[in-house]
C-alpha cells in the first residue's frame, strides 16, 4: 500500500489551499483533475466542461485521475491528492448511471483515512473554473460522503479552522506530525 492520501469533499471547502500548503512544506501533491481539465478545455475551446458536457468532463477527469495515481507510484514518501479517482468515478456514475465506482476503487486504493472538507459557505465562491452553485456543491459532497465509507474508507472530516491548523490536523492523523 502506498501512502496516498486523498483530500476530498465539498467544492470551495479549502482543499486546494490546503494542498498548496502541503506542497509548500515539501510533500508531494497532485492537483485536482477537474480544475486541470477545465483549464485545458477553456484554453483550447473544448467542450468537455461540466456546464457544457458533464459526461465528457467526468470521463476526462476519470482518465486523468487514473493517470495521476499511476504516475504517483514513482514519488517517494506520502502523496496527497486534491480529489482523485473516487471523486471522478462518483461523478461519472451520477451522470451516466454506469456502475464504475466499485471496480475503479478496487484497482486504485488510497490510504485510509480519507479526509473530507465539509460544506463551508463562507469559503465557497464560484470562479471561472467553478461555475456551479453552493447547493450543487453540497449535493456532490453528500454523494462523496456516502461513497468513501461504502468503499471501506475511514473518513475524517476536516475541521473548519485555519489552513495551518488543518495541516497540523492532517499530519497528526496520518502520523507525520
For the chain, which residues make up each domain, given as ranges? 4-173
Which CATH number describes the domain made up of 4-173?
3.40.50.300
Q: What DSSP letter does each residue of 83-151 carry, written as one string? A: S-HHHHHHHHHHHH----HHHHHHHSPPPSPEEEEPP-TTT----SS--S-HHHHHHHHHHHHHHHHHT
Helix 134-150 and helix 85-96, axial crossing angle in degrees, nearest 10: 110
Query: Average pLDDT of each block of 10 consecutive residues along the chain (177 residues)?
Result: 89 90 95 94 95 95 96 94 95 94 90 93 77 85 96 96 95 90
pLDDT value, residue 151: 95
Name the strands in the sheet holding 155-157, side by side, starting at the edge strand that comes first in the sequence: 28-30, 79-82, 4-9, 114-117, 155-157
| Residue-level pLDDT at 95 | 95
Cβ-count burial 20-54 (b if 16+ within 10 Å, e if not)? ebbeeeebbbbbbbbbbbbeebeeeebebbbeebb
Q: How far, CA to CA in Å, does 33 sit from each of 159, 162, 176? A: 24, 24, 26
Phi-psi region of 123 (alpha: psi -120 to 50; beta: other; left: phi over 0): alpha
Which of 65, 58, 79 has the alpha carbon at shortest distance from 143? 58
Which pLDDT belongs to residue 1? 52
Amino acid at each position: 500500500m502506498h501512502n496516498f492520501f486523498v483530500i476530498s469533499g465539498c467544492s470551495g471547502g479549502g482543499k486546494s489551499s490546503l494542498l498548496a500548503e502541503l506542497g509548500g512544506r515539501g510533500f508531494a501533491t497532485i492537483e485536482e483533475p477537474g480544475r486541470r481539465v477545465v483549464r485545458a478545455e477553456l484554453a483550447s475551446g473544448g467542450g468537455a466542461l461540466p456546464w457544457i458536457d458533464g459526461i465528457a468532463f467526468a470521463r476526462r477527469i476519470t482518465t486523468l485521475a487514473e493517470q495521476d495515481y499511476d504516475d504517483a507510484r514513482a514519488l517517494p514518501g506520502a502523496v496527497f491528492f486534491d480529489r482523485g479517482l473516487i471523486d471522478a468515478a462518483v461523478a461519472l456514475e451520477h451522470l451516466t448511471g454506469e456502475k464504475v465506482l466499485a471496480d475503479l476503487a478496487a484497482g486504485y486504493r488510497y490510504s485510509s483515512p480519507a479526509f473530507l472538507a465539509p460544506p463551508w459557505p463562507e469559503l465557497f465562491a464560484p470562479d471561472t473554473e467553478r461555475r456551479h452553485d453552493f447547493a450543487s456543491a453540497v449535493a456532490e459532497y453528500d454523494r462523496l460522503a456516502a461513497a468513501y465509507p461504502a468503499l471501506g474508507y475511514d473518513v475524517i472530516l476536516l475541521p473548519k479552522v485555519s489552513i495551518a491548523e488543518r495541516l497540523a490536523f492532517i499530519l497528526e492523523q496520518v502520523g507525520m506530525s
